[in-house]
Structure 1
Amino acid sequence: MKKERAAMANDLMVKDPELYNVDLAPIAKEKRRWTWVNYSTIWMGMVHNIVAYETAAALLSQGFSVAQALLAVIIANAILVLAMWLNGVAGAKYGLPFPVLIRSAFGYKGAQIPVLLRAFVAIFWFAVQSYAGSLAINALFGLLIPGWNSLSQYAFLGLQANVAIAFGLFWILHALVISHGMERIRHFELWAGPMVIIMGLIAVVWAVNAAHGLGPLFTEPSHLSPAAFDAAFPLAVTGLIGVWATLVLNIPDFTRFAKSQRDQVVGQAIGLPITAILFALISIITTSGALAAFGSAISNPVDLLQRFHNPLILVFGALTLIVATLSVNVGANVVSPAYDLVNLFPRKLHFVSAGILAIALGVLFVPWMWFNNATTIYDVLGAIGGALGPVAGLMLADFYVVRNQHYDVEQFFERSGDFRYQNGWNLRGLMAFGVGLLGAFIGLFIPSLHVLYTYSWFVGIVASFVSYALLMRPYVVATVIPEPQEAEL
């Protein structure tokens, strides 16, 4: 990494230092080493986590039957993988991250708006996931360290002292993983994702044995009337999409390392919908087994582990949850804000220092205030989807309609280039973004249009896509731009 930074030092003297540094520069084709295996395992690691486990189980608590809950998961993930395929193409083609690519739609100054929005959302989720992982560490220490649980009598800002220490230790683990950049993350995810799947399947074996079958939840009918189901189902799908709304935007941060388009397409097809559906099944079967074994549907895996009163099960289970949460947090919630912060301060930050700053900011979100309120989490998920959908719509319209799938890479790093627009702001892009936000959120303020908010992510992405394509017609590329020479940048 040090040699690579030194080799590119001369470029930094030529390119605008406010728009360009080593981490934002396009990756040369010969340095793109991620195969479909890497994308499969990184998605395995991100999909299998405590919050995703609780999300699937939470659908049942809302009255969904198992079949209805699984249908919501299948539809949401089919839509997600399609959006990620489409938005990942530019990253794989040009080796550029999201904060650079978005300059085309918003202008090099206007791009900071979606970049900040996405960073805010990713850091929020980092905080929530970190708190979830710290609960597993706290449970493990409670078993191994005498007197550990007695620390709970002390609290600050609503956080018990023992959980606060566990939270700090989990924070340090994140710092260690990201301390050597994307290569360490790639190697970590290679074993972390498959490990979580194996432990999940072990939990399924226990649940089937405890319930002498799939358990009572699979015979439980839906508790929603047809009208209530029609209202709740699209909200559930939108909420599930909201979990990964940031990844729809920043998938180029990962696909820029792809050896080929085929690798990112195949890897994501295996890693996202297939493993997400499998993990939802693991969550539901395990919760069903808990209902049969303990008399209650325990949706929090940490609480479930503590019901066993078995040191061996608790140790291995807690370690798995720690690895699972660390895996999703690094991949989904540290990589994206790290690039965003580098883009904001390219003179002062590089990927590792920006990643450390991002996880430091996550503490300010006081996640323990959010984690145990399922209703609030779903409200937040809907809002996240509504806010980020319009950005995805602009990116897709810009690349596929306005630019005809061709970018001149040099222009991304020049103030006087194609993406200068009006002093760095693409007013047409901002107007289309506003149209998307209006479509996504107008149902919150006008009761007769509430159905639009139910489909906020879909409304936002379609409204911004169409409005941007129409507003940018004068800019539509009429001639094919020569393919970029990545190695020369």
Structure 2
Amino acid sequence: MTAAPVTADTSSDLPPGYDPALYNADLAPVPAARRDWSWVNMATVWMGMVHNIVVYEAASGLMALGFSAWECLEIVAVAYAVLFVAMWFNARAGTKYGIPFCVLIRSAFGPYGAQIPVVLRGFCAVFWFSVQAYAAAQAVDAVMSTLSGAWAGMTASFLGMQARTWVAMAIVWALHAWIVSHGVHRIRNFELVAGPLVIVVGLLATIWGLHVGHGLGPLFAQPSRLHGMAFWSTFAMGVTGMIGLWATFAVNIPDLSRFVKSERDQVVGQAIGLPVTALVFTPMGIITTSATIILFGHPIWNPVDLLLALNYPVVTILGGATLVLATLSVNVVANIMPASYDLVNLMPRRLDFHRAARLVLVLGVFFMPWLWFNQADSIYRVLDLIGGMLGPVTGIMLADFYVVRKQALDVAALYRLDGRYAGRKGWNPPALVAFAAGGGLASIGHVVPGLEGLNAVSWFIGVAIGGGVYLALSRRQGQDMWNGADDTASLPSTAS
């Protein structure tokens, strides 16, 4: 079932009483009849996101800390179980009311205050899109350079990057544009194919690794180098680091769950697509890398480097195409889609989903990822700080929906500047204070010497402090919010 693409909203489509600064067709609740994603769609979307280059290489980071391969799998299991629970509960409002993150967050922060977490999430999304897309461009460049001497000869440089890499970037950017050109329904259909296909290719690579290694390989035989308290503190840091890969998506999971048929489809789809896929994909990476130790004498965790080292044209083409497909699969859902909704939320009268998606592609170029790509420490330090600020947002959203609102929202009021969620002139002080307190404590270990140990549990600190402070201040403020709202409030007739 494929729905017609949504066009930009006009003033005549504005439901009575709604503010045009807070509403357009893409931000409107999705009616029940249009929520046509099943658990299969939700699972394949997550499959497409979980098996990407960053997650593939994450196992190398854990093993570099001293963990054994089996302990890496334990860390992955714990981290993704926590993520699954957080996303399960945070996705419920999207499934129930059909509203995206940037609208749902107004309930806690107010219509103007909500722009702070929305802008932070949008910044992370555009930045990650830029970096991931550039990684795919490098894969295209490596494959084409191997297969074509003419391509490899394009060595002229412009703005610090070779001409052939510019062409590779143009190809990758054009592929992203094609996938998002018909909105979320094309994204759903693309993930239905891309997610399982990448898993199939990963299984083929795993079979190759088992053949070369005559079993699980040397990495699975490597013992742990961590014991006692050193083990547990590093284990906590590893879990937090794995959660950090998806902490930003934990806040905007309603962007996906708003299209799902039922709560059961949402839960089953996420359970299969998130923790189960992660536990399947991680050993694939370890087994494949074990084979590289036998073949080359050292581990090769970067898939592009592995393709070049193997130097088989057929394998290079297949592997390179799979890397590009995997990057497209994660980028369109985890980065372009939320960033587009965030931009629409900032300018609902000027942007729709399609225009915003094109703007994300343009902004991605201006982030100049080729200048950042080889400075991983700087990238992750900045993004860790921003991601640490989004932990409290998760806590505040959960506290607001489940405790303060008792899972009942007045949907129409979310689109009004003077509604029950307006706070003080569009700003809700309890959420803002909780956001600052949780974000500050979650990130303090990055800037204050002696408190680095807090980084091991920064996301958990952010969620707990953000949610706890928000509840305390909301109760003290004695707002009408504690009475809940009528969840049968009228929904606008305009479909998203």
TM-score (norm 1): 0.95
CA distance in 1, matches of 2:449, 2:229: 18
Judge conservation of contact 2:210–2:291 (CA < 8 Å) in 1: yes
Q: Which residue of 2 aligns with 1:141?
A: 144
Judge conservation of contact 2:404–2:484 (CA < 8 Å) in 1: no
How far did 1:149 drift?
Answer: 1.7
Q: Which residue of 2 aligns with 1:109?
A: 112
Q: Which aligned pairs between 1:182-197 and structure 2 lie closer than 5 A? A: 182-197=184-199
Q: Which aligned pairs between 1:231-270 and structure 2 lie closer than 5 A? A: 231-270=233-272
Q: Which aligned pairs between 1:45-444 and structure 2 lie closer than 5 A? A: 45-151=48-154, 153-224=155-226, 226-372=228-374, 375-376=377-378, 378-380=380-382, 382-444=384-446
Q: Secondary structure at the match of 1:333?
A: helix
Q: Deviations over 1:226-272 (max 9, x none)?
A: 45434432222212111111210110000000100110010000000
Change (3 A) 1:419 1:205: same
Q: Secondary structure at the match of 2:190?
A: helix
Q: Which aligned pairs between 1:22-61 and structure 2 lie closer than 5 A? A: 22-61=25-64
How far did 1:71 drift?
Answer: 1.6
Q: Secondary structure at the match of 2:125?
A: helix
Judge conservation of contact 1:51–1:132 (CA < 8 Å) in 2: no
Change (3 A) 1:116 1:380: same
CA distance in 2, matches of 1:295, 1:3: 52
Judge conservation of contact 1:391–1:461 (CA < 8 Å) in 2: yes
How far did 1:372 drift?
Answer: 4.4
Q: Which residue of 2 aligns with 1:20?
A: 23
Judge conservation of contact 2:412–2:491 (CA < 8 Å) in 1: no
Q: Which residue of 2 aligns with 1:486?
A: 491
How far did 1:477 drift?
Answer: 2.9
Change (3 A) 1:479 1:241: closer
Q: Secondary structure at the match of 1:218?
A: helix
CA distance in 1, matches of 2:129, 2:104: 24
Q: Which residue of 2 aligns with 1:458?
A: 460
Q: Deviations over 1:348-404 (max 9, x none)?
A: 000011011112112222323444455555545533431110111111111011111
Number of aligned residue pairs: 488
Q: List gaps (5 residues or longer) in structure 2.
A: none
CA distance in 2, matches of 1:73, 1:370: 28
Judge conservation of contact 2:62–2:72 (CA < 8 Å) in 1: yes
Change (3 A) 1:24 1:290: same
Judge conservation of contact 2:124–2:383 (CA < 8 Å) in 1: no
Q: Secondary structure at the match of 2:26?
A: coil
CA distance in 1, matches of 2:8, 2:233: 57
Change (3 A) 1:469 1:197: same
**Residue identity matched to 2:109:** F
**Residue identity matched to 2:341:** Y
Judge conservation of contact 2:445–2:452 (CA < 8 Å) in 1: yes
**Residue identity matched to 1:222:** S
Q: Quote the RMSD (CA, aligned, Å).
A: 2.0
Stretch deviating more after TM superposition (479-488 or 50-59): 479-488
CA distance in 2, matches of 1:347, 1:377: 33
**Residue identity matched to 1:293:** L
CA distance in 2, matches of 1:157, 1:47: 33
Judge conservation of contact 1:390–1:433 (CA < 8 Å) in 2: yes
